[in-house]
């Protein structure tokens, strides 16, 4: 084999790229995995959760080797208003008993491990390399450019993240539109493990995942909070278009959230060790570009805008891994490069990624109900305040008290139209 | 056509080291490794010299088991081969021990015309290794270099002094230590990164260097390392008029004996 020709070049050593490289290398393909950061994971600011089934698809029991943080056994949904909070808390220590359902992860560690797994199967991993172009010959993608260097491959797989430069260079889709991505701001706060466990009511190996609405100044968006080993990942994802129209800076809104009386005690005494911001795919199924391949070229992971956000669950990494696997299987399935793209789309179907995306395809419409981000969380807290107030005065009849809480926040007409919209989206 | 050797140290990246506020101790648990900053200049200078004059450049390092992580990195920056000594003794080594080990290794793999070091390491910055190395090898030493050139066996250099520069030349072999301003280290290209994995590396066992036990005993032993934190007074002047604030600031500075 020539020195500068590979079976596959994968650009981006995140979960999608590494899953793809791992699968191909394991099956004996000569793979080059390129990473722009100084090491895989070094540019990543995400702290989040990984649904373990995806690693299980890649290789049974692989998750046992992975640097995972805490097994999520507590799911919490928080509705915030200015002072108060109403929290729904679902706890099940046996959640996903055979194969645990999800873990919190720190991507800097996970990505480094994942790229190392690919390397141990013979993939060549080169980091600190910026890929800035594609080589195209007679309508096909035949390699990549990095500065003055060129490198060729039978297939180039773009796993270069939400702003995929390569997908654009390949002419598959334009630069991400502002309404197609959310802006996530996130902080990692170091805290002793025993404090984290006590504050979230879990054992030291277990963790909680929390989502919160009502903390975004009315901007479409929500907060998340994950417990790691020795740290907490906390952040907010904002609708980019609405955030841009606001006078207030998103970091100030985020700061208010951290200082909310219901949140501050969770992070009190901690040390902020990392602060970052990143774009995340927002539109779910409807945001996925129509074309994810052309001859000699596939797009996977965030670059393909795979993502699911139901408000309760936020998924990206698992879909990235599944798409990396799909691309690898497509490459392994055929020797005819003109077939690979179609096979990749079929693999996405077969591995149920497309079905998962499609199941939630209208879900995003719910987030167009602006009252979800302020009026309804406020309503919930008003109702709770009524239900739990004991002051010795004659209590109002239950229904009229609750109706009062509703009326203070929304009109019946709004309630009916929002309910109908939500019903249709589900 | 000089035969060059670059000595480098694999240090912790100081950006990742945190100072614990309670006792000012250092937390390096999340720190990754890197080639010491000035050593990167030394590697670059050797690579530039060889690209210009021909010849060859090898690299040599002594550290704990973590030095293995540095091999691909250093080879992507120009050297044709790297020799590495990984031993637990490096953990507590001072410049004397380091120079003893490097000199013994150079006697084994050498001779070299030009031995390049960084002026000081990113972590301890003792600025002793180059000088000690030259003494042990019995060859001259040029420090504080901001410019270096080689013509035949003559090595010419510009040394940066506190308030001036000095032009010097010596006949090789020679040990030099370079400043960061001598060049701008390259960011290895894709081909250089990939080429690095094809270049040879050779482990040298410390036991094979014929060093005496006392050669490995540090002359200076470290009893503690503490971070330095600037204690701020956090005084905020909140008078309504700017003039009053200025007056208070002036009085405050005066009471501290600063004006």
Which chain B residue lies closest to A112 (C-alpha atoms)?
Answer: B32
Looking at the fold, whether B154 and B254 belong to one and the same domain comes out as: no
Chain A residues within an 8 Å CB radius of B32: 39
Domain for residue B174, yes or no?
yes
Evaluate whether residue A151 is within a structural domain. Answer: yes
Q: Which of A360, A378, A393 is the last residue of a domain?
A: A360
- Looking at the structure, tell me whether residues B74 and B178 fall in a common domain: yes
Q: Do B31 and B147 belong to one domain?
A: yes
Residues of A in CB contact (< 8 Å) with B are 4, 32, 34, 39, 124, 126-129, 146-149, 151, 271, 273
Name the residue facing A124 among B21, B32, B194 (closest C-beta).
B194
pLDDT by residue for chain A (426 residues), tens digit each?
446 799 999 999 999 999 999 999 999 999 999 999 888 887 777 778 999 999 999 999 999 999 999 999 999 999 999 889 999 999 887 776 776 789 999 998 999 999 999 999 999 999 999 999 999 999 999 999 999 999 999 999 999 999 999 999 999 999 888 888 899 999 999 999 999 999 999 988 999 999 999 888 888 889 999 999 999 999 999 988 888 888 888 989 999 999 999 999 999 999 888 888 888 888 889 899 999 999 999 999 999 999 998 878 889 999 999 999 999 999 999 888 889 999 999 999 999 999 999 888 887 778 888 888 888 898 999 999 999 989 898 888 888 888 888 988 988 888 888 888 888 877
Q: Which of B42, B33, B104 is nearest to B71 (CA)?
A: B33
User: Which pLDDT score is estimated for B47?
Assistant: 96
Domain shared by B207 and B248, yes or no = no
Asked if the structure places residue B74 within a domain, the reply is yes
Of B21, B32, B193, the CB nearest to A129: B193
Q: Is residue A247 part of a domain?
A: yes
* ipTM for the complex shown: 0.77
Terminal CA-to-CA distance of chain A, rounded, Å?
53
Q: Which residue of A has its CA nearest to B69?
A: A39
* Residue among B198, B192, B147 at smallest CA distance from B168: B147
For tokens 């080291």, name the residue.
Answer: B17
Per the model's pLDDT, the better-predicted residue between B160 and A415 turns out to be: B160
Domain boundary among A317, A335, A360: A360
Q: What is the pLDDT of residue B246?
A: 94
B169 in the same domain as B61: yes
Look at residue A73 and tell me if it is in a domain: no
The answer to whether residues B205 and B235 belong to one domain is no
Domain-located, residue B90 = yes
Contact in structure between A363 and A54 (CB atoms under 8 Å)? no
* Residue range B69-101, pLDDT digits in tens: 999 999 999 999 999 999 999 999 999 999 999
- Asked whether residue B246 falls in the same domain as residue B185, the answer is no
Confidence at residue A3, expressed as pLDDT on a 0 to 100 scale: 61
Would you say residue B221 lies in a domain?
A: no
Residues B62 and B176 placed together within one structural domain of the fold:
yes
Last residue of a domain, one of A257, A281, A305: A281
Burial A128-166 (b: 16+ CB within 10 A, else e): bbbbeebbbeeeebbbbbbeebebbbbbbbbbbbbebbb
Q: B68 and B138 share a domain?
A: yes
| Helix/strand/coil percentages in chain B, nearest 5 | 35, 25, 40
Residue B215 DSSP label: G
The answer on A161 and A14 residing in a single domain is: yes
Give the separation between CA A374 and CA A311, rounded to whole angstroms.
Answer: 14
* Whether residues A304 and A400 fall in one domain: no
A159 and A185 assigned to the same domain: no
Q: What CATH number did the domain enclosing A241 receive? A: 3.30.9.90
Structural domain contains residue B222: no
Please compute the mean of the pLDDT values over residues B161-167 and round it to a whole number: 95
Does residue B149 lie within any of the structural domains? Answer: yes
Do A34 and A110 lie in a common domain?
A: yes
CATH number at residue A159: 3.50.50.60
Element (H, E) at B34: strand B33-35
Structural domain includes residue B224: no
Residue B31, chain A, CB below 8 Å: the answer is: no
User: What residues contact A155, with CB distance under 8 A and at least 6 apart?
Assistant: A7, A8, A9, A141, A296, A297, A298, A331, A337, A340
CB spacing of A146 vs B18 below 8 angstroms: no
Nearest CA in chain B to A148: B189
pLDDT digits 0-9 by tens, A77-130: 999 998 899 999 998 877 767 767 899 999 989 999 999 999 999 999 999 999
Mark whether A272 and A185 lie in a shared domain: yes
A60 and A133 share a domain?
yes
Q: What percent of chain B has pLDDT over 90?
A: 79
Sign of the dihedral defined by the CA atoms of residues B172, B177, B182, B188, in that order: positive
Asked if B125 and B189 sit in the same domain, the reply is yes
Domain shared by A238 and A293, yes or no: no
- My answer on whether A202 and A153 are in the same domain is no
A323 and A208 both lie in a single domain: no
Nearest to B189 among A127, A149, A271 (CB): A149
pLDDT at position B209, please? 96
pLDDT at residue number A262: 94
In this structure, is residue A327 part of a structural domain?
Answer: yes
- Phi, psi torsion values for A362, nearest 5 degrees: -95, 0
Same domain? B114 vs B208: yes
Alpha-carbon distance of A237 to B96, in angstroms, equals 54
CATH of the domain at B160: 3.40.50.620
Q: For the residues B177-186, what does the mean pLDDT come to?
A: 96
CA-to-CA distance for B204 and B207, rounded, in angstroms? 9
A contacts of B188 (beta carbons < 8 Å): 128
User: Is residue A78 assigned to a domain?
Assistant: no
**Do residues A214 and A377 lie in contact, with contact meaning Cβ atoms separated by under 8 Å?**
yes
pLDDT at residue A1, as a whole number: 42
Distance (Å, whole) CA B158 – CA B148:
7
Domain tally, chain A: 3
CB contact under 8 A, B188 and A147: no
Domain that residue B256 falls in: 229-259
- Chain A residues with beta carbon closer than 8 angstroms to that of B197: 124
Structural domain count of chain B? 2
Same domain? For A172 and A308 the reply is yes
Looking at the fold, whether A224 and A298 belong to one and the same domain comes out as no
CB contact under 8 A, A149 and B32: no
- As a whole number of angstroms, the distance between CA B27 and CA B227 comes to 10
Distance CA A231, CA A193 (A): 7
- The model's pTM: 0.87
As a residue count, chain B comes to: 259
Domain that holds residue A28: 5-67+105-176+286-360
Distance CA A182, CA A242 (A): 10
Do B188 and B234 lie in a common domain? no
Does a structural domain hold residue A272? yes
Contacts for A322 with CB less than 8 Å, ≥ 6 apart: A19, A54, A57, A348, A351, A352, A353
The residue in chain A having the minimum alpha-carbon distance to the alpha carbon of residue B198 is A3
Instruction: Note whether A118 and A257 are same-domain residues.
Output: no
B123 CB burial (10 A radius; 0-12, 13-18, 19+): middle
Give domain status of residue B223, yes or no: no
């Amino acid at each position: 084999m020539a020195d500068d020709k590979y079976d596959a070049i994968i650009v981006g050593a995140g979960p999608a790229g590494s899953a793809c490289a791992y699968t191909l290398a394991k099956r004996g393909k000569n793979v080059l995995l390129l990473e722009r950061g100084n090491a895989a994971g070094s540019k990543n600011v995400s702290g989040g959760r990984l649904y373990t089934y995806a690693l299980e698809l890649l290789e049974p029991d692989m998750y046992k080797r992975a640097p995972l943080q805490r097994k999520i056994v507590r799911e919490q949904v928080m509705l915030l208003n200015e002072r108060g909070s109403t929290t729904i808390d679902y706890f099940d220590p046996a959640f996903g008993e055979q194969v645990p359902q999800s873990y919190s992860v720190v991507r800097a560690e996970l990505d480094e491990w994942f790229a190392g797994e690919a390397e141990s199967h013979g993939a060549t991993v080169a980091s600190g390399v910026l890929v800035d172009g594609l080589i195209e010959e007679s309508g096909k993608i035949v390699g990549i450019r990095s500065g003055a260097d060129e490198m060729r491959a039978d297939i180039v797989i773009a796993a270069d993240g939400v702003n995929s430069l390569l997908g654009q260079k390949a002419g598959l889709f334009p630069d991400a539109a502002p309404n197609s991505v959310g802006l996530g701001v996130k902080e990692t706060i170091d805290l002793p493990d025993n404090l984290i466990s006590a504050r979230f009511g879990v054992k030291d190996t277990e963790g909680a995942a929390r989502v919160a609405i009502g903390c975004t100044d009315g901007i479409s968006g929500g907060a998340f909070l994950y417990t790691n080993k020795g740290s907490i990942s906390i952040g907010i994802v904002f609708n980019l278009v609405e955030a841009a129209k606001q006078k207030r800076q998103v970091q100030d809104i985020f700061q208010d959230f951290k200082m909310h009386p219901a949140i501050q005690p969770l992070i009190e005494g901690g040390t902020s060790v990392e602060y970052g911001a990143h774009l995340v795919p927002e539109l779910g199924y409807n945001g996925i570009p129509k074309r994810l391949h052309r001859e000699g070229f596939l797009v996977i992971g965030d670059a393909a805008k795979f993502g699911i956000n139901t408000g309760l669950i936020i998924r990206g990494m698992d879909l990235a891994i599944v798409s990396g696997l799909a691309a690898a299987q497509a490459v392994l399935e055929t020797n005819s490069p003109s077939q690979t793209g179609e096979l990749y789309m079929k693999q996405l179907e077969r591995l149920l990624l497309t079905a998962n995306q499609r199941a939630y395809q209208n879900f995003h419409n719910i987030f167009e109900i602006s009252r979800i981000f302020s009026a309804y969380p406020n309503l919930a807290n008003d109702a709770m305040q009524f239900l739990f107030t004991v002051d010795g005065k004659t209590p109002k009849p239950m229904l009229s008290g609750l109706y009062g809480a509703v009326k203070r926040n929304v009109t019946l007409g709004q309630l009916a139209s929002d309910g109908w919209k939500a019903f249709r989206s589900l | 056509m000089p035969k060059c050797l670059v000595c480098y140290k694999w240090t912790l990246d100081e950006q990742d080291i945190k100072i614990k506020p309670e006792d000012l101790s250092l937390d390096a648990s999340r720190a990754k490794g890197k080639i010491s900053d000035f050593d990167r200049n030394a590697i670059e200078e050797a690579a530039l010299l060889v690209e210009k004059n021909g010849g060859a450049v090898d690299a040599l390092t002594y550290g704990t088991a973590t030095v293995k992580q540095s091999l691909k990195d250093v080879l992507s920056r120009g050297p044709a081969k790297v020799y590495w000594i990984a031993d637990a003794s490096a953990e507590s080594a001072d410049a004397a021990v380091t120079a003893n080990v490097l000199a013994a290794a150079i006697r084994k793999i050498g001779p070299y015309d030009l031995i390049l070091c960084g002026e000081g390491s990113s972590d301890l910055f003792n600025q002793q290794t180059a000088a000690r190395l030259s003494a042990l090898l019995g060859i001259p030493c040029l420090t504080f270099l901001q410019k270096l050139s080689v013509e035949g066996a003559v090595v010419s250099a510009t040394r940066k002094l506190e308030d001036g520069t000095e032009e010097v030349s010596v006949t090789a072999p020679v040990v030099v230590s370079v400043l960061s301003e001598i060049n701008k280290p390259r960011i290895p290209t894709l081909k250089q990164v990939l080429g690095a994995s094809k270049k040879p590396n050779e482990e040298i066992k410390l036991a094979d260097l014929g060093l005496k036990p006392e050669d490995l005993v540090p002359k200076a032993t470290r009893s503690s390392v503490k971070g330095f934190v600037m204690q701020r007074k956090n005084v905020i002047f909140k008078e309504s008029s700017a003039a009053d604030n200025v007056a208070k600031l002036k009085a405050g500075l005066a009471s501290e004996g600063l004006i």
